[in-house]
Amino acid sequence: MIYDVAVLGGGVVGCAILNKLTRIGKKAVLIEKNSDVATETSKANSGIVHAGFDAMPGTLKAKLNVRGAELMPKLCRELGVKLVNNGAVVIGNDQKTLEDLLARGIQNGVTGLEILDREKLSKLLPAITDEITCGLLAKTSCIVSPYKLTIALAEEAVLNGADVVFNYDTKACNKVDNYYVLDDGKTKISAYKIVIACGGEHNQIANILGAKQYDIKYRRGEYFLLEKNSCDINGLTVFPMPSKDSKGVLVSYTVSNNIIVGPTSILCDNNLTVTTNEGLDDIASKVGHMLSNVNLKKNIRIFSGVRTLVGHDFVIEKDENNSDFVDVTGICSPGLSASPAIAEEVVKLLGFDLTEKTNLVRRKECPKIAELSSDELSKLIKKDPNFGKIVCRCEMVSVAEIIDAVNSPLKPISLDGIKRRTRAGMGRCQGGFCFMKVMEIISKVRGISIDEVTKENMNSRIIVGNIK
């Protein structure tokens, strides 16, 4: 088979592109070097769908943030992904900066913006510190699970005829007639056009394909993840005044009601995800100047993600060395917000019409027992007793939900893959009580040895041998 398009990279942008290509009837394949989608930047960001007031007018960031935020509600409904319109507020003591942000947002086409004085802000956020004198409210800001969105985009694409190939480490690319043959030394994949959406590894892939390489910089963002509802911020996402490098250390709910605090913005020379005492101390100091009620001792996990930058804007363009390739790189914030709009831009660059098919197959989410009433759960258990067998006590995840995840379109076999789909292991104990049971279910359902079940990717085996 020769695909219309091969998309390299399984983050939210790559999966959004794959999804859009499939919706318009193109035969596309997603190629990912890891064992699942959303294993790098798209699993480790704030999950904010930004209103669009921060990006400089006239940039791709501004245009695609606003368009992406416009597309996101309908897209999430179609995908069965939870999107919460919670609103955001930028707080600080510089009225002029807020007025500039307001003017920038209006120029970008953002609605629902309002500057608040100290009195109004205190009613909205009683825990602001004495240093805070004003704020900018953005009523259209939303939150979403970045990894659930990424997974859903890929799953729907697969249900409608796309292919996804994991653990594919591209070694070569050769042109044959009017198409290209990718090769990892084991499997050849052919496509007429190629989209390079590999984030921080763009240049490595570009070198193999003979495509353009860019001056890529890396910024690491470290985070605290706190217990559910561990502080009251009135449902909002709370930002400080932005700097030239970052939107700053935010405090926000996740769609699962945990509190996320961060990120740092540390310039680094690689895309390795690490956390440091210096970075976490910096977060604690900065959030302490904003809010008085954020107790970082409620922390259940620390993590980091790395975003890539190419200058001051997104790069979405036909490759200057080969017009059959499209380069998508430098997708830092607001990349998640812009992802549906980035997909539209790429489809247009590929020369395709944006009109979608009308007979698409929609994905269906497995019922989450933690969200059901007693009566609803009783009826479900009568149909399938596995809904009554609890595996993860922290997040109330049943055997049935894990089986459904293992059998879902991308067929995950890692603990983290199941965690991202079901939340098993995302609670207070972080999987300490349930991980072996989850491994046993994966092993049984997939018909593989339990020592083949990994934590994440191929090199992360948990069981390496028997001791007797």
Of 40, 41, 23, nearest to 159 by C-alpha is 23
Three-state DSSP string of the chain: CEEEEEEECCCHHHHHHHHHHHHCCCCEEEECCCCCCCCCHHHCCCCEECCCCCCCCCCHHHHHHHHHHHHHHHHHHHHCCCEECCCEEEEECCHHHHHHHHHHHHHHCCCCEEEEEHHHHHHHCCCECCCCCEEEEECCCEEECHHHHHHHHHHHHHHCCCEEECCCCCCEEEEECCEEEEECCCCEEEEEEEEECCHHHHHHHHHHHCCCCCCCEEEEEEEEEECCCCCCCCCCEEECCCCCCCCCCEEEECCCCCEEEECCCEEECCCCCCCCHHHHHHHHHHHHCCECCCCHHHEEEEEEEEEEECCCCCEEEECCCCCCEEEEECCCCCHHHHHHHHHHHHHHHCCCCCCCCCCCCCCCCCCCHHHCCHHHHHHHHHHCHHHHCEEECCCCEEHHHHHHHHCCCCCCCEHHHHHHHHCCCCCCCCCCCCHHHHHHHHHHHHCCCHHHCECCCCCCECCCCCCC
**Among candidates 398, 404, 400, 395, which has minimal Cα distance to 431?**
395
Pairing of strands 134-138, 88-92: antiparallel
156 to 11, 45, 276, 320, 352: CA distances (angstroms): 15, 22, 38, 32, 20
Q: List, in sequence order, every residue forming a beta bridge with 314; answer none if it has no partner.
A: none
Residue pair 290/238 in contact by the 8 Å Cβ criterion: yes
Sign of CA dihedral 442, 448, 450, 455: negative
| Cis amide prior to 263 (ω within 30 degrees) | yes
Catalytic residue among 50, 202, 289, 312: 50
Nearest to 262 by CA among 241, 231, 239: 239
Residue type at 402? I
**Residue 50: active-site member:** yes
Residues with a known catalytic role: 50
